[in-house]
Structure 1
Amino acid sequence: MAFSKLELFHSLILVLSVVSVQALTWTTTPFNPPAIPLAVRSPYLSAWLAQGAGAALNDVWPTFWTGSVVGWAGFVKVDGKAYSFLGAPNVPGAAFTKATQKSSQFTSTQSIFVLSAGPIDLTITFISPVEPTDLVKQSTPFAYMAVSAASTDGSPHSVQVYSDISAEWVSGDNSLTANWSTTTGNVLTHQVQLATQAVFTENNDHIQYGSAFYSTTNTVGATYQTGADVTVRAQFINNGRLPNTQDTNFRAVSNNWPVFGLAHDLGSVTSSTAPVVFSVGHLRDPAIKYIVAGGATQARSSYFWSQFSSPAALITSFLGDYANALSRARAFDSKVNIDASKISADYASVVALSIRQAMGATEITISKNSDGSFNKNDIIMFMKEISSDGNVNTVDVIFPAWPVLLYTNPALGKYLLEGLFRYQATGQYPNKWSVHDLGSSYPNALGHNDGRDEAMPVEESGNMIIMALSYAQKTGDNSHLTQYSALLDQWTQFLIEDSLIPANQISTDYFAGSLANQTNLAIKGIIGIKAMSQIAQRLGDTSKSANYSSIAASYVSQWQTLAASSSGKHVTLSYGNSASWGLTYNLYADKLLKLNLFPASVYEMQTAWYKTVAQPFGIPLDTRHTYTKSDWEIWTAGIVTDTATRDLFISSVKKWASDGLSTQPFGDWYETTNGQPEGFRARPVVGGHLALLVL
């Protein structure tokens, strides 16, 4: 029987993915990713288990998204014998062996590991809640680790569980001095922070103020200790409990590595135990410095502070909510899996790996009233451009991430755009196009009053108009369109000037360089003009709507001639260069907004073309390089006209994510010829992998 090239390609992917999984000594569901999220809730609460070809939970230290270690250790004692289950600790003078990992699994909100420690199986569940419709919960930068034990031989066994975090959670510089304290009561909490705080300041992408918290419920048999890593860990390994003592010799993070240990005695275990629950979090206040009218700045706080008066109150509530949080997480995971599996199993797995990462780059904030109370009606969400720039609310990072917001709660998209609209409405930004970002260094949203931000004029103007309309279409809420209609119109006027034949400029794919007459960029600008026509229609201005609609239609017909290659088989990357081509992912907005602006023949032509230029790991971004972007591949999967080509894009991204060549949190930029990662990691743009769920 004969196979098409596409079928052979899919068969090869299947074989390679099976081979990579068989190399591991444990089962992986749905696959083994480059890094497994453990606690990923904010730009500063970010702990991952690097994988590459595969690493058990107790093979390596968890790391911050940058790759720097965040010490997080776990031990269990079974009938007096100690085993490590988390991290890669070295404890001289204390005997322990490594538990054996049996399985790992990730869902949209959870990472679950099963390890055997002699006759006991431990199930370790990490939950980074995704609570998009509850702003208090979604804005809480805390995650859970739950540990349960079960006898595998039917006999009772004595079991004690221990875990600690190190002071590495509070700085990007381990030579800096930390201090710490422990509070007891219904909850045991270790709090650690830098001795010298620097508000709104980062060091190696770690925030330099606020505190890390490690907590557990103070049940019978719970004990604690702070001190040097080898001291505290040896205490548990040798004794199965901690002495409830505190080290007050405050010192540098790397000076006899201070750690903050918590232990539970589970007693005699026969069947499965209720989980021992730990919470880890990082709190700071204020969270963001934001520019307001007249160049003044406003200190904004995380939304959850409107409900909790202290860290202790928040932690007590968070720990007490574990059972409900687990139930909600499972329901969310199930919904996402059901929705995405309608497209394919590969797609469901890519989506599941993307959600925590996308949401973990965001923070929801509110301002204070003059009397010091919180103004819960003034909500702005902020997103850090993780790894590529560190900017605040970069428009062309929000844009690819947009599908995760439309899918989970479109209101979050509104809150993310609000800061950009509000700043530009003050008139402080001098350019006629949309600003690129709200600040060059997170968490300082100080704008660009000098107009010298990274200029992506057509890119950002089109993005803002498209996102504003898509939010209104999804929700029926026209408030942004009404309030900021003058800005939207100003940007549209610029697009009329510069989008049919775009001047030499960079687009969101700035790493590929600037280029004049970019075909795909022109698509975005033309769709932006048509989107403004729809906005005018929604606001009751029929003559403006008709005018913009007519301009957009005229531009499309001109674009078809300008963009055509001499072969007639594809559109070009830039006008006049028939040998060039690229992913025309900006057509996705035409589908998303249901504009039907570009003719079906363009979609059909591009679909046929992409099949002919696929590399082993996907379709290149354009002819300048053989690398690609996973977000734009999935967006392009949303515009192709047959399922075989759609699945080619999806399976390529899955193949890249599971190829074992990267140890970084899901990178969106990679090489299509050999599956090697390029420079980006942990970026929120993977929210764009949900593009097919919102069409």
Structure 2
Amino acid sequence: MRNFLQAVVSLSLLICVNAAVSWIATPFNPPAFPLAVRSPYLSAWLPQGSGAALNAQWPTFWTGQIVGWAGFVKVDGKAFSFLGTPNVPGATFAQAVQKSSKFTSTQSIFVLSAGPVDLTITFLSPVEPTDLVKQSIPFSYMAVSAASTDGASHSVQVYSDISAEWVSGDNGLVASWSTTTGSIITHKVQLVNQALFSEVNDHTQYGSAYYSVSNAAGTTFQSGADVVVRAQFINNGKLPNTQDTNFRAISNNWPVFGLSRDLGTVTSALTDPVVFSVGHVRDPAINYIVNNGALQARSLYFWSQFSSVNDVISSFLGDFKNALSRAQTFDNKVQSDANKISADYASIVALSIRQALGATEITISKNADGSFNTNDVIVFMKEISSDGNVNTVDVIFPAWPALLYANPQLGKFLLEGLFRYQASGQYPNKWSVHDLGAHYPNATGHNDGNDEAMPVEESGNMLIMALSYAQKTNDLSQLKQYTSLLDQWTQFLIEDSLIPANQISTDDFAGSLANQTNLAIKGIIGIKAMSQIAQLVGNPAQSANYSSIASKFVSQWQTLATSTTGPHLTLAYGNSASWGLSYNLYADKLLKLNLFPQSVYQMQTAWYKTVAQPFGVPLDTRHTYTKSDWEIWTSGIMTDAVGRDLFISSVKKFASDGLSSQPFGDWYETTNGGPEGFRARPVVGGHLGA
């Protein structure tokens, strides 16, 4: 038995903008809380809409499909639910009452009242960007602590389970499972028939999910049908340490994997937390094309340090206290840095970081002797929610500010797979490839050249990112190794960026268009970036030539791109009534090129103030929708704080308006704050670009 109702955006939500919730929400109530967000396949969220307590919705995968995750507590023999919306016929329990919610860059923290005891539930998805081993571990924490609120002592037991829904996008498939005991109790569950490197409904179809807790005194476990296992705890306050061996379809009596801990007597002092770990591990992780069309199976980086998943879990659980301390330090740094702009901005950034990094995986290859080669690191990113491509250049590009902030080396490793493939000579086009593979986790290239064509977009993006990494780190190794490839793309930009042919840009949903003003900006900046790259790698003559071309292009571009009927840039040359967000100017500021005159920035700053809608400035004159990442980038090129804050406050207003129950979307309607189709995409890393 279970509740099949998914979170939906109802008509009442469309009316109820900025709806107040019944609990204290810090810094605001988001569209969805990240609960366990560590990889494209470990991605659990609590949908919100106008507001849903931790025990008022089932957690969902980023697609909106339920991933069963339940929690109960017993206080002096009375049971309360605190996580999920389980239905347990014949068992009596109440709902704990949510008192507060809070999110930081790494944590989502809830306090619920279960009668005379408060529970603090902390979901920690570590962000460890400078530790490649830790950042590559696809596990997350849930920690539960209790404290008496009435001055008396109380008997308290805590329970939680996950369901087999964590292992597939098809609940009709058969799963199997096992439980291991020792110093740690771990439930392991997987599909019986696995399919390597495949997905169903964006869930991986191979590997295993793990749910673990330390085997401290008073810890018990059980696997079995949801109603059986949950009723066992509700009625008895403990589990019988038994395993269901009737392997079956995920939806057949919903097998769940429960863990329970007796906290004993709880006083007003907050108890040490019961720490659960949840994860999903598959190996190999990525199928990557190498020379001559051969395919290389790549593994997550952490395998270089661990020989088994049980070792990983033991290390991960044992590290919780230190991981929490590191997370708090990281949270405080992000908060401090972002607060220098505004409190609204700090809240946007805090909601974005887990989502941005949660779309990535850090991989390594093996040496001939089977050992792992930690000198061969490639990071892969899934284009979540749009089409599932691998390492899409124009998805990495908006995510780039988060990478530069967290650890620029992660950006280098993201670019490496793209550079290496194209340097192998297998990609036939003269411009940059759009992505490394049509369907994650298969980075199998596009040797036929029939990837989605964004020639100016992707060539400019690669040049801009390559230079910005070198500027940030003084590491010129990638520029030197791939100079000829970078120059090849620059040659193409000289042909096609001043007056771009009819093509799509990163905003492909808006359609193709010739003579795009904003796309031309990117191409011209790409040429100027190559002039800087040439200087860095010791080719001053080439540098001077490209710099001269870029400067001439800017002068011609100004004449072509400025409206004759209003003080603004156009969307497309010759259409003076058109305009759009000139977010590609952000790269001019990022790279400190000073290529475009200050008058352009001043003109755009004044213009956007005159065309803002209630929830922000439209992407362009073709539609009234916008993109939050590009709004934040545009805020970064404004010449005054009023213009900057217009964009930042608009994105925060959208994020907190109660109209969406999806993980933070980047595409929304400026007239009413309603969400469009995108959700959970790593492009929110662009929110660090203000």
* Same fold at TM > 0.5: yes
1:27–1:103 CA contact under 8 A, matched in 2: yes
Q: Which residue of 2 aligns with 1:482?
A: 480
Q: 52, 55, 72: which is aligned to 1:75?
A: 72
Tell me if the contact between 1:532 and 1:545 (Cα under 8 Å) persists in the aligned partners. yes
Q: Deviations over 1:302-330 (max 9, x none)?
A: 00011010000000000000000000000
Aligned pairs (5 A) from 1:343-354: 343-354=341-352
Residue of structure 2 equivalent to 1:66: 63
Deviation at 1:23, TM superposition (A): 2.7
Aligned counterpart for 2:193 among listed residues 178, 191, 196: 196
Give, in whole Å, the separation in 2 of the partners of 1:281 and 1:322: 14
Distance 1:432 1:574 in 2: 25
Matches of 1:20 and 1:114, distance apart in 2? 25
Report what 1:298 is aligned to.
296
Q: How does 1:437-452 map to 2 (within 5 A)?
A: 437-452=435-450
1:21 Cα deviation from its structure 2 partner? 6.1
Alignment of 1:301-340 (within 5 A): 301-340=299-338
Q: What is the aligned partner in structure 1 of residue 623 from structure 2?
A: 625
Q: 2:111 corresponds to which residue?
A: 114
Q: Structure 1 21/154 Cα, relative in aligned 2: closer, same or farther at 3 Å?
A: farther
Aligned to 1:456: 454
1:228 aligns with 2:222: no
Superimposed CA distance per residue, residues 586-645 of structure 1 (whole angstroms, 9 cap, x where no aligned partner): 000000000000000000000000000000000000000000000000000000100001
User: Which secondary structure does the structure 1 equivalent of 2:683 belong to?
Assistant: helix
Q: How far apart are residue 551 of structure 1 and its match?
A: 0.2
1:149-228 alignment, distance < 5 Å: 149-228=146-225
1:42 pairs with 2:42: no
Of 249, 252, 262, which aligns to 1:252? Answer: 249
Give the Å deviation of 1:272: 1.4
Identity over aligned pairs, percent? 81
After superposition, the C-alpha distances for 1:14-35 in whole angstroms (9 at most, x for unaligned) are: xx9xx96663111100000100
Determine whether 1:133 maps to 2:145: no
SS of residue matched to 2:287: strand
Q: 2:490 maps to which residue? A: 492
Q: CA deviation at 1:567?
A: 2.5
Q: SS state of the match for residue 423, structure 1?
A: helix
1:273 and 2:271 are equivalent in the alignment: yes
SS in 2 for 1:242: coil
1:139-195 alpha-carbon deviations (Å, 9 max, x no partner): 000000000000001111000000000000000000000000000000000000000
Q: Which residue of 2 aligns with 1:397?
A: 395
2 CA distance for matches of 1:150 and 1:339?
A: 33
Residues 373-415 of structure 1: CA distance to partner in whole angstroms, max 9, x if unpaired?
0000000000000000100000000000000000000000000
Preserved contact between residue 21 and residue 32 of structure 1 (Cα < 8 Å):
no
> 1:21·1:31 contact (CA, 8 Å) conserved in 2?
no
SS in 2 for 1:579: coil
Letter in 1 for 2:327: A
The code of the aligned residue for 2:68 comes to G
1:287 corresponding residue in structure 2: 285
Once structures 1 and 2 are overlaid, which stretch shifts more, 212-221 or 268-277?
268-277
1:142 aligns to 2:139 (yes or no): yes
**In 2, are the aligned partners of 1:45 and 1:142 still within 8 Å (CA)?**
yes
The 1-side partners of 2:564 and 2:555 are apart by 17
In 2: Cα distance, 1:587 partner to 1:236 partner: 59
Structure 1: gaps spanning 5 or more residues: 1-15
Corresponding residue for 1:358?
356
SS in 2 for 1:540: coil
The aligned residue for residue 528 of structure 2 is: 530
Q: Is the 8 A contact 2:430 2:488 kept in 1?
A: yes
Structure 2 CA distance, aligned partners of 1:212 and 1:653? 35
Q: Distance in 2 between matches of 1:368 and 1:316?
A: 24
One-letter amino acid of the counterpart of residue 321, structure 2: A
SS across alignment from 1:455? coil
Amino acid at match of 2:186: T
Q: Is the 8 A contact 2:19 2:658 kept in 1?
A: no
Give the whole-Å Cα distance in 2 for the aligned partners of 1:656 and 1:555: 37
**Which of 25, 29, 38 is matched with 1:28 structurally?**
25
1:615 and 2:584 matched: no
**Structure 2: which 5+ runs fail to align?**
1-12
Whichever residue aligns with residue 474 of structure 1, its letter is K
Partner of 2:469: 471
Q: C-alpha distance in 1, partners of 2:681/2:22?
A: 30
SS in structure 1 at match of 2:60 = coil
Specify the code of the residue in structure 1 equivalent to 2:55: N
Q: Does the 8 Å contact 1:81/1:96 carry over to 2?
A: yes
Describe the superposition over 1:416-456 as per-residue Cα deviations: whole angstroms up to 9, x where unpaired.
00000000000000000000000000000000000000000
The aligned residue for residue 432 of structure 1 is 430
- CA drift of 1:540 comes to 1.2
Residue pair 1:47, 1:65 contacting (<8 A) in 2 also: yes
Report the Cα distance in structure 2 between the residues aligned to 1:284 and 1:539, rounded to whole angstroms: 40
Deviation at 1:199, TM superposition (A): 0.3
Question: Contact between 2:221 and 2:239, CA under 8 Å: does it hold in 1?
Answer: yes
Does the Cα contact within 8 Å between 2:394 and 2:457 map onto a contact in 1? Answer: yes
Q: Root-mean-square deviation (CA), in Å?
A: 1.0
Question: Is the CA contact 1:21–1:27 (under 8 Å) kept in the aligned structure 2?
Answer: no
TM superposition score normalised by structure 2: 0.97
